[in-house]
Chain A
Amino acid sequence: MTSSRRRHLSPITQRRLHVFRGNRRAVWSLWIFGVLFIVSLGAELIANDKPIVMQYDGHWYVPLLVDYPETEFDGFLPTTTDYRDPVVFEQIADNGWMLWPPVPFSYQTLDRDVKGPVPSPPGSRHWLGTDDQGRDVFARVLYGFRLSVAFALALTVGSIFLGVVIGGVQGYFGGKVDLIGQRVIEIWSGLPVLFLLIILASLVEPNIWWLLGIMLLFSWLGLVDIVRAEFLRARNLEYVRAARAMGLPSRLIMRRHVLPNAMVATLTFIPFLFTGAITTLTALDFLGFGLPPGSPSLGELVAQGKNNLQAPWLGVTAFITLSLMLSLLVFIGEGLRDAFDPRHILTATRIPNPPAAGSQAPANRPRQDSLP
């Protein structure tokens, strides 16, 4: 099985994987980050103000997925059931049972039964305490982490797509296309992103799509230079010229022959894009120009920590969450960078190459012309 799969990986990819696996810190970080993200994807099952499943009068209900009106459970209101309402709670408990998630609060649930003033300190009811509106901090961190990573993921994928396409076209065709493209990019990169976002916040109600769109307009710029340089270099390689002589159209040559070269530089750039996206989103939320009020956001938690210094659990939680997330990403990025660094690949594998002075490198030649 592995051997047949291995065959599809070029030897250089195998070596890179090998180097990456050799970096224990990066591998561990990747695992931890992956597990955290997958767990956060199921945030609704972990922290929610609705039961996952329940039985009432012998019927099955899935409140997690379906909204039931209160009348369904012999209540008076035709609106969506508030399962945390003591009356409803008792009613259901008498006629059936409910399975609650381990944390019975969602990110926007206001806990009215909290003892003492809000923000209330961590305890058995709220593991990480509540914020100044009585919302559970753990639930907010969980949902906030998911939102940050998803946002960063979408932004990264979008930036890579735009950056590779625009950089690739500029680099591959060169000449006037490149010249004009570069000047436009220079002007474009001079636009102040933060101001644009602040102006936008006063014009429209900013939601995650607006933010994503505006940031996408600028975040691909950094990639263009790298991809363009790789394409400029690769377009005169002999195998690219050979493909052109074979009559392949430009888009096929770019995709099949040039792009794989540029992907190495792009991949090493991903962790930077990713951390950049997360910090920008957090910063905007902190300033109050980010996601709409009520959204689970780490930046808003930082702001709350700043405003409520008497409740250190807010600031500490925000700090730990952010630093953990960014450190893990930086470690993964370091591992990736080393894996793609040709010098690391050489030292990590068996035979060091003899010096460049003798270009007849013996170790490079696995076999002589011994075939018939």
Chain B
Amino acid sequence: MSDHRLFELRRLTVRFGSHVAVDSLDLQVDRGETVAVVGESGSGKSVSALGALGLLPAGADIEGERRFDGRDLGEFSPRQWNALRGGRIGFVFQEPMTSLNPLHSVGKQLGETLRLHQGLRGQAAKGRIRELLTQVKLPRVDELMAAWPHQLSGGQRQRVMIAMAIANDPQLLIADEPTTALDVTVQREILALLDDLRDRYGMGLLLISHDLNLVRRHADRVVVMRHGECVEAGPTTDVFDTPQNAYTRQLIDAIPAGRPLPVPENAATLLSANDVGITFARPKPFLRPRPPAFVAVEPLSLQLREGETLGVVGESGSGKSTLAAALIRLLPASGEIHFDGLRLDSLSGNALRRQRRGFQIVFQDPYGSLSPRMPVADIISEGLRFHHPELDASIVTERIAEALREVDLPPDCGHRYPHEFSGGQRQRIAIARALILKPRLLVLDEPTSALDRTVQKQLIELLRSVQARHGLSYLFISHDLAVVRAMAHRILVLKEGKVVEQGQCETLLEAPRSAYTRALIDASSLA
């Protein structure tokens, strides 16, 4: 075929035992082109890229034709593979925390690739490392070369990973969810960098992502995958403007829509916090004075009315989750917290535990928040059985079924274990566990962040309908403004523990007063 064709997969099939992870996938990447593979989790995106380059564990069974730069990869010897990977094909993985070896400095890790593939040593290698780090737009290059991975931020680490990937002038760069673990504002910078590098070196870029918003902005062509199969492929604009496949349409439409119901004018204040601040003491060094405490959240005040949703937004490390945990007394904090006419901050021990059924929390990770050793019915009813020991078994069973119906799960699934459910279903179980206590305030700590867009949308609708039925108040924590807009009446923007601004959702999103809020809005798919 033409000289432009760089990488080609034909009828690629990957099997793990009897499980087919990828089913006859066709894919081409040309020089200077970005091809995106999109799909929900479990659709086989990563497995297909790893499988094509022989990076899967021994149990995997790979069939089909794989060609790179006109050569058949199926005939490669292990030595040729090693020259190819990291040499002519560069990788950027999702998790910048674990992709760098924590025991080697940045300069040493980059030097290793250069030595292995190009035989560069000493000053020549050093010069090249400096050049690479400058190319990925890292500041203070000389200091960075001696830095250890843990001293870098997530975005900086990902830049180092990209520097390693392009160190040997690869013709193809494979980026597997390169920005998923990063903050929204950093995501944009990293992708702009990838675009820039692709144009400068004429590389092919294979971008694997679940984020359609991002794909739409950066990819030339798109391959949509579902259950290991390609459901649609074509130029980005065609796929997004005139999707042929129902599933693609569903994916594109899965942007959280709708607005929360208005709060009644006369709603009473349910939760109010006055000057709530959270600090963490730092360890005292030997024979030296203790350094000042780390301020996680500077004293702030907030109010939440009955039936109202307050969205707390900010990047990771801004103190959102810490604030939420402090408001429901899971962390010690200074200041006053009033809940339903009670001073929460002065309660402790049993008195506090008895109040806890009034305010519940749903965590981010649907895989970690359910005890893997308990059947669902036990998980849901645990709080109920503790707070109301007088209820007999039949009433408890009834309340469990009721809670499951409330979150649109079949009421007879109580005997199953959490691992039998998908992420979205688990999050519903976590919500049912909170709702069974009939709380008046529900703290939602990034409840949708770990879920696919389509599932996210369903969950938001569920939360809204629960709020409408019971007049619950939500404290909704998220970094994703698209989700927050669909949920919140008011928004509080946090940055490094300080309130940047707060106000009504609509007005704040339309006319943000701070540059930080504007950056958050730009980075989300609100446009």
Q: Assess whether A372 is in contact with B357, with CB atoms less than 8 Å apart.
A: no
Chain B, 362-389, contact with A by CB distance < 8 Å: what is the 0/1 string?
A: 0111001111111000000011001100
The docked-state distance in angstroms from the alpha carbon of A359 to that of B450 is 11
The docked-state distance in angstroms from the alpha carbon of A256 to that of B379 is 11
Contact of A362 among B47, B353, B415 (CB under 8 A): B47
Which residues of chain B are near A306, meaning CB under 8 Å?
none
Q: Assess whether B368 is in contact with A239, with CB atoms less than 8 Å apart.
A: yes
Which residues of chain B are near A208, meaning CB under 8 Å?
none
CB of B390 within 8 A of chain A?
no
Q: Assess whether B41 is in contact with A365, with CB atoms less than 8 Å apart.
A: yes
CB of A150 within 8 A of chain B?
no
Stretch from A88-96, A106-114, A243-251, A270-278 at the B interface: A243-251
- For A, the interface residue count at a CB cutoff of 8 angstroms equals 41
- Contacts A246-B357, A248-B386, A360-B41 hold; do A371 and B425 have CB atoms under 8 A apart? yes
Q: Assess whether A257 is in contact with B386, with CB atoms less than 8 Å apart.
A: no
Q: Assess whether A10 is in contact with B373, with CB atoms less than 8 Å apart.
A: yes
25 pairs from A and B in contact (CB 8 Å cutoff)? A238-B365, A238-B369, A241-B369, A242-B430, A245-B330, A245-B356, A245-B361, A247-B353, A247-B383, A248-B383, A248-B386, A352-B17, A352-B59, A354-B21, A355-B55, A360-B40, A360-B42, A362-B42, A362-B228, A365-B41, A365-B422, A367-B421, A368-B422, A369-B424, A371-B409
Which residues of chain A are near B40, meaning CB under 8 Å?
360
Other CB < 8 Å A-B pairs besides A10-B417, A256-B374, A257-B371, 18 of them? A11-B419, A238-B363, A241-B363, A242-B433, A245-B356, A245-B360, A246-B383, A248-B353, A248-B383, A249-B353, A354-B47, A357-B46, A357-B176, A363-B19, A366-B420, A368-B42, A371-B409, A372-B408
The docked-state distance in angstroms from the alpha carbon of A360 to that of B39 is 10
CB of A58 within 8 A of chain B?
no
CB of B43 within 8 A of chain A?
yes
Q: Assess whether B50 is in contact with A355, with CB atoms less than 8 Å apart.
A: yes
CB of A324 within 8 A of chain B?
no
- Contacts A237-B368, A239-B369, A369-B424 hold; do A246 and B360 have CB atoms under 8 A apart? yes
Which residues of chain B are near A192, meaning CB under 8 Å?
none
CB of B437 within 8 A of chain A?
yes
CB of B93 within 8 A of chain A?
yes
Closest residue of B by beta carbon distance from A346: B59
Q: Assess whether B420 is in contact with A359, with CB atoms less than 8 Å apart.
A: no
Which residues of chain A are near B94, meaning CB under 8 Å?
357-359
CB of A59 within 8 A of chain B?
no
Closest residue of B by beta carbon distance from A247: B356
- Contacts A247-B357, A367-B422 hold; do A354 and B16 have CB atoms under 8 A apart? yes
The docked-state distance in angstroms from the alpha carbon of A252 to that of B382 is 10
Interface residues in B342-359 (C-beta closer than 8 Å to A): 350, 352-357
Contact of A352 among B42, B57, B417, B419 (CB under 8 A): B57
Residues of A within 8 A of B (CB): 7, 10-12, 237-239, 241-249, 252, 256-257, 260, 350-352, 354-369, 371-372
The docked-state distance in angstroms from the alpha carbon of A257 to that of B93 is 34
CB of B503 within 8 A of chain A?
no
Question: How many whole Å from A165's CB to the nearest CB in chain B?
Answer: 20
Interface residues in B398-444 (C-beta closer than 8 Å to A): 408-410, 415, 417, 419-422, 424-425, 430, 433, 437
Q: Assess whether A361 is in contact with B17, with CB atoms less than 8 Å apart.
A: no
CB of B56 within 8 A of chain A?
yes
Question: How many whole Å from A100's CB to the nearest CB in chain B?
Answer: 52
Q: Assess whether B369 is in contact with A242, with CB atoms less than 8 Å apart.
A: yes
Closest residue of B by beta carbon distance from A368: B422
CB of B134 within 8 A of chain A?
no
Which residues of chain A are near B368, meaning CB under 8 Å?
237-239
Which residues of chain A are near B42, meaning CB under 8 Å?
360-362, 364-365, 368
Question: How many whole Å from B404's CB to the nearest CB in chain A?
Answer: 11
Which residues of chain A are near B350, meaning CB under 8 Å?
249
Q: Assess whether B382 is in contact with A360, with CB atoms less than 8 Å apart.
A: no
The docked-state distance in angstroms from the alpha carbon of A363 to that of B16 is 8
Question: How many whole Å from A234's CB to the nearest CB in chain B?
Answer: 10
Which residues of chain B are near A371, meaning CB under 8 Å?
408-410, 425
Q: Assess whether A360 is in contact with B45, with CB atoms less than 8 Å apart.
A: yes
Question: How many whole Å from B367's CB to the nearest CB in chain A?
Answer: 9
The docked-state distance in angstroms from the alpha carbon of A283 to that of B432 is 58
Closest residue of A by beta carbon distance from B387: A247
CB of B328 within 8 A of chain A?
yes
The docked-state distance in angstroms from the alpha carbon of A362 to that of B23 is 13
Q: Assess whether A369 is in contact with B371, with CB atoms less than 8 Å apart.
A: no
Q: Assess whether A358 is in contact with B176, with CB atoms less than 8 Å apart.
A: yes
Contact of B371 among A239, A244, A350 (CB under 8 A): A239
Q: Assess whether A242 is in contact with B361, with CB atoms less than 8 Å apart.
A: yes
Which residues of chain A are near B352, meaning CB under 8 Å?
247
Q: Assess whether B382 is in contact with A248, with CB atoms less than 8 Å apart.
A: yes
Which residues of chain B are near A367, meaning CB under 8 Å?
420-422
CB of B458 within 8 A of chain A?
yes
The 10 closest A-B pairs by CB, nearest first: A358-B46, A247-B356, A360-B41, A352-B59, A246-B383, A238-B369, A247-B353, A238-B368, A365-B42, A362-B42
